[in-house]
Structure 1
Amino acid sequence: MVSDDLVDVEFRHEEGDVLAGQSGGIYSLTDHLLTARANRLQAGQADTELRSLSHLDEESVKLLEHQVTAAHRALFEMDGKALLADEVGLGKTIEVGMILKEMHYRDTSDSVLILTPAQLAQQWQAEMLEKFGIEFVCNYDDEFEGFAAHDRIIASIDTAKSDRHRKTVLARDWDVLVLDEAHYVKNEDTDRYDLLDRLSYDYAFFLTATPIQNDVTDLYNIISLLRPGLFGTREGFHNYFVNKSQEKLVNRNELQKRLSEVMIRNRREETDIDFTKRNVTTRTFEQSTAERDLYEAVTDYVRTAYGEDQGQKLVLMTLQKEVVSSPAALEGTVRSQLDDDDGQPAHDTLLKQILECIEAIDTPTKQERVQRIVREAQERVEKGRVIVFTQFRATQQQLLETFADEGYATHAFHGGHSSDEKEEIVEQFEEEGGVLVSTDAMNEGRNLQFCNVMVNFDLPWNPMKVEQRIGRIHRIGQDREVYVFNIALEDTIEEYVLDRLYHKIDLFNQSVGELSEILTRLEETGRNFEDEVFERLVDADSEIELENNFDEMAVDLQEQRDLADKVEDFNSGVFEGFDLGASDD
């Protein structure tokens, strides 16, 4: 353990001929075909047990009861078409892995297409191979030759819908379609939705922790892709289930009944998972005189240059982030700016002043502090494992050299490594211990439950990135308390982001899904979180005005959080009493 000292509508099917159902209800040809397809799952089998589970390596994947139940229901009670809507962190990917493993065992999945957000594609690839022994090619792999060349493909949904690949994707008849983060296709007027609507497949499994983000129509759109006609027309659905203000559900029992045909949702409190405690310690440290001079020089340059040329925004934002990371990170960007400034004397003078300030700094304050945290972890934590996150490669290199000089086993992880190299680095870190210094290339895609200490050496302005970092170690499978240390310099943009923004949205107690709701709503107003932070910095003429600017942004965040809470209350109304078990028949 590390001490805290440390630092009425009638529902009709929209497609297919109508047949007479045994109960006198509507039964479409589409339903008949779905049932026939589902029977393929049981062909040659005397039961509907998940027979492939006995072939899984218990060391690679530990199955939880709610996951096994979800996989079974999706396959055998929902005709192989289901919306897996467990809350964040309950292992929806594992549920899909079990489903695909069973279908492979029963020889019903010759072609499988998994569509994900771009940043999650390789994570899916790794988990399917490592946990279930199912090999997929990813669209980011060198050996990827297109959507017609492979039978098991994981790809970003934006790659699949692109002009280059769309025709090929739609030309195939896929056995299985998996769609991760299905709420991204909730808008029927987008290319993503159109792609999913046109795809040909036999079985489909959609995943989302937030099936409703704005109103219940989101849910209609997603489920209509899985089961066309289940809820009738969009207008009829909306009129039947939501009153005019869209704030109160009506006919809730009917909604839940129909949802139970296609959706599985588990909640944290309904499972046996005992998530370990998360301890977050934030420490701000006084800058040295030289560091303060450097910070003020960089801020002056950023405000001056941005006032003259807003086209430089990305570079200037980078400078403002680098100055609180390390002089090493800052220096390279400053020298590049000197080379690219086309001889503007005023700019050159300011940039040269920044370089002089860099030279005046001996050992950065934050570097000293992170050494103390690592030293403590070496004494109290198994194999002394610590993950240190930074946004910049130059800072990473400096930290690696510092830790190596002190005799620690060091490991570097960044986006320049191949997939195989990344796998090897993680394995070495687990075996040898020591310090792994990573860029945000590890924000997503790797599970590091064998480590329980993390340091945010510099903090991304986007809080989702911070939570993604923490999510590498604080997740299912972590059996120890997790310790997260945030390091920041006083009177800097980093401290403002921490104190006024992160704490306002209670970042470190939010789940990824909850945080996503807040940020999504903010960005739907047309504002990007990081852009907003930068604009409030450069627009301030004084420290008091800067404080006021960030206080205003904090109020905006609180408003978005209140709206997100209302959505969660609405979701709870939809899902309250939702029957998660099998029917009695």
Structure 2
Amino acid sequence: MGGLMPGTTASSADVRAAIARSWLSARDAELLGSVVLRPHQRSAAHRLRALIGASRGALLADAVGLGKTYTALAVARHAASVLVVAPAALRDMWREACTAAARPARFVSYHALSRGRIPDAADFVIVDESHHTRNPATRRYRALAALCRRSPVLFLSATPVHNRADDLRAQLALFLGSHAWAMADDELARFVVRRDFAADDAGPTLPHAGAVRWLDTGEDATMLAGIERLPPPLPIREAGDGGALVAISLLRQWASSRAALVAALRRRLALASALGDALRAGRHPTRQELRAWSYADGSLQLAFPEFASDALPTEVDTLLAGTERHASHVAALMRAAATGPDPDDARAAARTVTDFEEFPGERLIVFAEFAETVRALYARLARDGGVAMLTERGAVVAGGRVTRRALLAQFAPGGAAHVPAAERVALLITTDLLSEGVNLQDASVVVHADLPWSPARFEQRVGRVRRLGSSHAEVSVYALRPPAPAEVLLRMEHRLRAKLAVAARTVGIRGTIMPRLFPAEPPASSATRIHAEIAGQLARWHLPCGRPPSGEPLVGAVHAARPGFLALVGCDGRPELIAGLGAGVSESPRDVLDALRLAEGPDVPVDARSVREALAAIACWRAERASFGVLGLGAGAAARTRRRLLHRIDAIAARSPRHLRSRYVPLALQARRVATERLGAGAERVLQELADARMPDEAWLNAVRTFAELNGTAGGPEMVSAVVVF
């Protein structure tokens, strides 16, 4: 039918099974040291290995509590050496996990990287709480780029997007390089694996999170109006007008507690006083100079203003008047805070925070963004007994200071059973330092004492309690309503949900844990969630044995409601599903999922012409894809570097003597591949130096070839493996 068949015909079931086998592996080992891996962890480990094998990196964004730590160690189980990068507070947790998994690993904190302490490279890098690497301008980011230049990397974060999609791009750029900045949301989602308790039918059992219940604490509209009327401070040199940022910062502290607001006002007043002294001395400090000033224990520490900043180029009186006007309003706010009713009393007295009778025998955790809020609540509640406080300064109970480890051990599964009743903690008040990487499964009630500016914090807070290993069927969630009128709360929620929508599109975070002040809107769909549906569909197609590969495309045909095809092709060394649904070839997850469903129809005879048309369309798609790879080399400096590299290669080819061309041509071809290859951020920095290196032509081409061997990804065969036409 339609001439010679371009491929090997087979039943649609065999073709579907062949497609599934390229994506799914045989059952992974259940044991990792003494840890029994759950099915969702084994399947994630397989998907991550495939992504990392093809692209040298991936991001695991499973919901909080699903055991990402052991999944990561399962991915790295065969690496010769492993390096874990994480917040310093998680060092003990990772040490214990590595011991249980029998997978040794070195550990370095983000703080150490920021201070320039860079460890030796490893064969595999795990970056935990990777949202801490979303700013490429930081020293820690540059250090991590160097560590990942030649090593595969796995990022872990349930909340990789805090404010905008560029948060995710910055993390993926550490192995994708500048290409990440030019990718659409659907393309970014290809490198992210995320599942949650609602999406996986056979997933693990987690406690049910009840609907967030709001606790009213009254209004504080007078103080809010005073903050909104606050005049702008004197702008520091090179920074412009910072009035809006100051007001926003004070609003965050006001919404958390009166104590947090008063502490912030004291800092503002001390800074205004120091700025006034600098101006009177004829100096105007820069942002970098202000960073050297520190406020602690009620005093501002700084160098003499004459030695700390440059000479003032502007009229002193005008700038002094602005500083004094700002300081005067700040002082007025402090007087109003001291004489008016204190809303912190109402917050501490809110039902549920103090009413243990509602939760007999259960443990409560109260999260707040600011340490001043934690201390204010603890001061009002400590007399009730069974209350502890944890901030960056340490842990405190009624009897005095205790170690952080001893306090948190009470909230681990079964940890309280070995603690005398008189020393048992029923209510823990803590800052968000406990919202990352800590297991608190023995608690069953979470209270948000304030609304953090990033919606990701909501999921992290509840996720510390709602985890595998919890003995509770349900986690109760409460939130103290900010002391604001409804229209202000509406604006606050709108801002947070705008940030959350970005995370939903790119990673698949649903936002069900974030408290909702007003009626809900339909949740946004997610490319990552669709990828999970695709994986589930392929799992149903998988057969333990099937038709072996023959070296040419395996083709089948089914009846469907619309014409098109589904194909499995090799792209950059990894299997890629693409769909032809009448409007050209697409790799969009939505189109691929539609094609997967259409490919399940009953078998029909295979038409050779339809197969040739499908293969021709795939060939055109490949050509377009390659062209876009050259035209869209990336963004910014990396793109300019690659274009300089191409121009230099072309110039060498044009001026090379005829008798040397046979030697130069293979080198030039390899160099051109480097110019269009996907590289991590660290490798791109080296390539920038290499592009302008002063070297003889042949030596330079050999240097580029060596660079490619050390840093390039291993591309696989670019072939069509299987096609189902319909």
TM-score (norm 2): 0.47
- Asked whether the 8 Å contact 2:258–2:337 carries over to 1, the reply is yes
How big is the shift at 1:369? 4.8
Per-residue CA deviation, residues 80-134 of structure 1 (Å, 9 max, x unaligned), is 999787853544443233344xx3xxxx432124567x79976983673475354
1:482 partner amino acid: V
User: In structure 2, what is the Cα distance between the partners aligned to 1:73 and 1:458?
Assistant: 38
Higher relative contact order (CA 8 A, sep 6+): 2
3-state DSSP class of the match of 1:388? strand
Of 494, 497, 500, which aligns to 1:501? 494
Which of 565, 577, 585 aligns to 2:525? It is 565
1:325 equivalent among 236, 256, 276: 256
**1:349 aligned onto 2:325:** no
Aligned residue for 1:407?
385
Question: Is 1:138 aligned to residue 108 of structure 2?
Answer: yes
Q: How does 1:285-324 map to 2 (within 5 A)?
A: 285-287=217-219, 291-301=220-230, 304-305=231-232, 310-324=241-255
What is the SS of the residue equivalent to 2:205? coil
2:371 maps to 1:390 = no
Residue correspondence of structure 1 range 188-207 to structure 2 within 5 A: 195-196=174-175
The answer for the alignment partner of 1:436 in structure 2 is 428
- The 1:97–1:333 alpha-carbon spacing in structure 2 relative to 1, beyond 3 Å, is same
* 1:387/1:436 contact within 8 Å kept: yes
Q: Aligned to 1:450, which of 425, 439, 442?
A: 442
Is the 2:353–2:447 contact (alpha carbons within 8 Å) kept by the matching residues of 1? no
Aligned match of 2:409 = 427
Change (3 A) 1:482 1:128: same
Which residue number corresponds to residue 270 of structure 2?
Answer: 339
Q: Do the aligned partners of 1:454 and 1:485 also contact (CA within 8 Å) in 2?
A: yes
Return the offset for 1:334.
1.6
> What letter corresponds to residue 332 of structure 1 in structure 2?
A
| AA partner of residue 295 (structure 1) | L
The one of 353, 359, 362 aligned to 1:374: 353
Deviation at 1:579, TM superposition (A): 2.1
SS of the counterpart of 2:41? helix
C-alpha separation in 1, matches of 2:61 and 2:266:
49
Cα separation, 2, equivalents of 1:68 and 1:519: 21
Say which of 208, 217, 232 aligns to 1:277.
Answer: 208
Give yes or no for contact 2:508–2:529 (8 Å, CA) kept in 1.
Answer: no
Q: Distance in 2 between matches of 1:154 and 1:73?
A: 16
1:97 aligns with 2:73: yes
| Deviations 1:176-204 (CA, angstroms, capped at 9, x unpaired) | 643436999x99x9886665369xxxxxx
1:577 to 537, 543, 567: 537
Change (3 A) 1:94 1:299: same
- SS class of match (2:537): coil
Kindly indicate whether the alpha-carbon contact (under 8 Å) linking 1:415 and 1:441 is maintained by their aligned counterparts in 2: no
Which residue identity lines up with residue 538 of structure 2 in the other structure?
Answer: F
Identify which range, 333-342 or 488-497, moves more after superposition. Answer: 488-497
Partners of 2:122 and 2:42 in 1: how far apart? Answer: 29
Contact 1:264 1:580 in 2 (8 A): no
Alpha-carbon separation, structure 1, partners of 2:474 and 2:216? 23
Distance (whole Å) between structure 1 residues aligned to residue 532 and residue 330 of structure 2: 55
SS at match of 1:109: coil
* Structure 2 CA distance for aligned equivalents of residues 401 and 359 of structure 1: 17
Amino acid aligned to 1:461: W
- The answer as to whether partners of 1:88 and 1:513 remain within 8 angstroms in 2 is no
Between the aligned partners of 2:499 and 2:247, the Cα distance in structure 1 is 28
Deviation at 1:137, TM superposition (A): 1.0
CA deviations over 1:227-277 (Å, ceiling 9, x no partner): xxxxxxxxxxxxxxxxxxxxxxxxxxxxxxxxxxxx997973421433333
Decide whether aligned partners of structure 1 residues 285 and 130 sit closer, same or farther in structure 2, where only a CA change above 3 A counts: farther
Matching of residues 499-538 of structure 1 within 5 Å? 500-501=493-494, 514=504
Alpha-carbon distance in structure 1 between the residues aligned to 2:496 and 2:89 = 28
Matched position secondary structure for 2:213: strand
Letter of the 2:409 counterpart: E
Alignment of 1:150-299 (within 5 A): 154-155=126-127, 162-164=141-143, 166-167=145-146, 170=149, 177-180=153-156, 195-196=174-175, 214=184, 216-218=186-188, 222=191, 268-279=199-210, 280-287=212-219, 291-299=220-228
TM-score by length of 1: 0.57
Deviation at 1:78, TM superposition (A): 11
Question: What is aligned with 2:675?
Answer: none
Q: What are the Cα deviations for residues 489-512 of structure 1, in whole angstroms up to 9, with x where unaligned?
A: 4434896158853897898xx9x9
Letter in structure 2 aligned against 1:360:
T
1:449–1:474: 8 Å Cα contact kept in structure 2? yes
Q: 1:367 to 1:153 in 2, by over 3 A?
A: farther
1:146–1:446: structure 2 CA closer, same or farther, 3 Å change rule? same
Q: Residue 423 of structure 1: CA displacement? A: 3.5
| CA–CA separation in structure 1 for the residues paired with 2:345 and 2:41 | 43
Structure 1, unaligned stretches of length 5 or more? 1-22, 24-46, 199-212, 224-262, 521-550
Question: Given the superposition, is the C-alpha separation of residues 146 and 306 from structure 1 closer, same or farther in structure 2, using an over 3 Å criterion?
Answer: closer
Partner residue in 1 for 2:716: none
Mapped to 1, the partners of 2:539 and 2:508 lie a distance apart of: 28
Alignment CA distance shift 1:50-1:147 (3 Å): same
Can you list the C-alpha shifts for 1:40-98, whole angstroms capped at 9, x where unaligned? xxxxxxx9973854x41xxxx66423334555787899989997878535444432333
Distance 1:440 1:580, change over 3 A: farther
Contact 2:411–2:443 (CA<8 Å) still a contact in 1? no
Q: CA RMSD in A?
A: 5.2
Asked if 2 retains the 8 angstrom alpha-carbon contact of 1:329 and 1:394, the reply is yes
The answer to whether the Cα contact below 8 Å between 2:447 and 2:480 also exists between their aligned partners in 1 is yes
Total equivalences in the alignment: 425
Moved more, 278-287 or 364-373: 364-373
Does structure 1 conserve the Cα–Cα contact (< 8 Å) formed by 2:392 and 2:433?
yes
Q: Is the 8 A contact 2:206 2:467 kept in 1?
A: yes
Encode CA deviations 1:460-506: one digit per residue, 9 max, x unaligned: 23322222212221233333311111112443489615885389789
How far did 1:570 drift? 5.6
Counterpart CA distance in 1 for 2:383 and 2:63 is: 41
Secondary structure at the residue paired with 2:232?
A: helix
- Are residues 109 and 427 of structure 1, via their aligned partners in 2, closer, same or farther at CA, if it must alter by over 3 Å? same
- Following superposition, the deviation at residue 440 of structure 1 comes to 1.7
Q: Secondary structure at the match of 2:255?
A: coil
Q: Distance in 1 between matches of 2:495 and 2:363?
A: 26
| Alpha-carbon separation, structure 2, partners of 1:460 and 1:357 | 25
Change (3 A) 1:517 1:457: same
SS in 1 for 2:464: coil
In structure 2, the CA distance between the partners of 1:583 and 1:472, relative to structure 1 (3 Å rule), is same
CA distance in 2, matches of 1:480, 1:391: 28
CA distance in 1, matches of 2:194, 2:377: 46
Supply the distance in 2 between the matched residues of 1:76 and 1:570 (Cα, whole angstroms): 18
1:480 aligns with 2:473: yes
Deviates more, 1:573-582 or 1:471-480: 573-582
After TM superposition, give the deviation of residue 379 of structure 1 in Å. 5.7
1:466 maps to 458
- Conserved? CA contact 2:450–2:480, under 8 Å: yes
Measured in 2, the distance between the counterparts of 1:73 and 1:518 equals 17
Counterpart of 2:94 (choices 118, 125, 137) is 125
Are 1:306 and 1:313, in contact at CA under 8 Å, matched by a contact in 2? no
Q: Which amino acid aligns with 1:427?
A: A
Distance 2:204 2:332 in 1: 55
1: CA distance, partners of 2:505 / 2:387: 35
Please say if 1:364 is aligned against 2:295. Answer: no
